[in-house]
Amino acid sequence: MILFPPAKINLGLNVLRKREDGYHDLDTCMLPIPLCDVLELLPSEQFEYHQTGLTIPGSTDDNLCVKAYNMLKAHYNLAPVYMHLRKEIPMGAGLGGGSADAAYVLKGLNKLFELNLSNSKLEEFAAQLGSDCSFFVKNEAQIARGRGEILSPCALDLKGMYLKIINPGIHVGTKEAYAGVLPNADGASVSSLIESPIEFWKDRLKNDFEGSVFSAHPILLDVKENLYDEGAIYAAMSGSGSTMFGIFKEEPTLSFQNNSTWMERVLEF
């Protein structure tokens, strides 16, 4: 079985308040995009995890894909599998690649072993692995609240438009991103702003992480301004960064073909 866990972008991201458990309540719209890792799952005589592509730091035991397998194995006594992850989505980029990989392991194991778990049950398991993981079970545009695990449908159609994503190879840690954010629960909800015409998003749909992250990494503000100069109708940082993206009505060109440290893609919705 071969699966393609996708990246996501955030359209607006409000940090509402810090909770007693140390997490923050968020309000955002998450949208899957056609930039994917590759995940292979096969029955095996013993459990094996193999990873290629971009290097994932840390031990195998801490890997979210392995944790996802062990979680379902503890509940359903699964047989061993061979798992191969080809990593294409950069880490620490605000694109949710690790969360997508974990969610797709759950989805793949559900199908491989005919567990017949509902999406709601898969979302429950996914929420235990990470705040964004539940989003990737349905893999469609959704409004995310709470830590990111409280999901509701979002009627969003960007078909025919183009997405340009730029990752300058800067790793923004979660602690770093939250350190400079002042929570504010008084603004308009992301869901209400998403319903407005996309031409109005530029001045209304904000990512609360941009202020502090741009201060620490001014190049990201330059990238955002360049995206608007190129004709983007909306540009922003995804998640806590450092990936920047612009939405275009006409197909944009690549800007950094000769810069090997940057990742740049033009995708069609």
**Which pLDDT does position 62 carry in this prediction?**
87
Last residue of a domain, one of 153, 171, 199: 153
9, exposed or middle or buried, with CB in 10 Å at 0-12, 13-18, 19+? buried
Catalytic residue among 87, 132, 164, 224: 132
Q: Is 64's pLDDT higher than 90?
A: yes
Residues 216, 253 share a domain? yes
Look at residue 29 and give its three-state secondary structure: strand
The Cα 93–Cα 10 span in angstroms is 12
Last residue of a domain, one of 96, 124, 153: 153
Contact 129, 160 (CB under 8 A): no
75, exposed or middle or buried, with CB in 10 Å at 0-12, 13-18, 19+? exposed
Residues 109, 184 share a domain? no
Q: Is 115's pLDDT higher than 70?
A: yes
Could you tell me the residue range of the domain that residue 76 belongs to?
Answer: 2-153
| Total number of domains in the chain | 2
Look at residue 57 and give its three-state secondary structure: coil
Residues 97, 14 share a domain? yes
Give the residue from 226, 239, 80 showing the smallest Cα distance to 171.
Answer: 239
255, exposed or middle or buried, with CB in 10 Å at 0-12, 13-18, 19+? middle
Q: Is this model's pTM higher than 0.85 or not?
A: yes
For residue 82, give every residue at least 6 positions away whose Cβ sits within 8 Å of its Cβ, in sequence order, or none: 40, 41, 42, 43, 44, 47, 48, 50
Structure tokens at 234: 């909306």
Contact 93, 59 (CB under 8 A): no
pLDDT tens digits, residue range 15-58?
A: 999 888 878 899 999 999 999 999 999 999 999 999 999 988 88
Catalytic residue among 8, 107, 206, 224: 8
Residues 30, 149 share a domain? yes
8 given a catalytic annotation: yes
pLDDT tens digits, residue range 179-191?
A: 888 888 888 899 9
Residues 97, 119 share a domain? yes
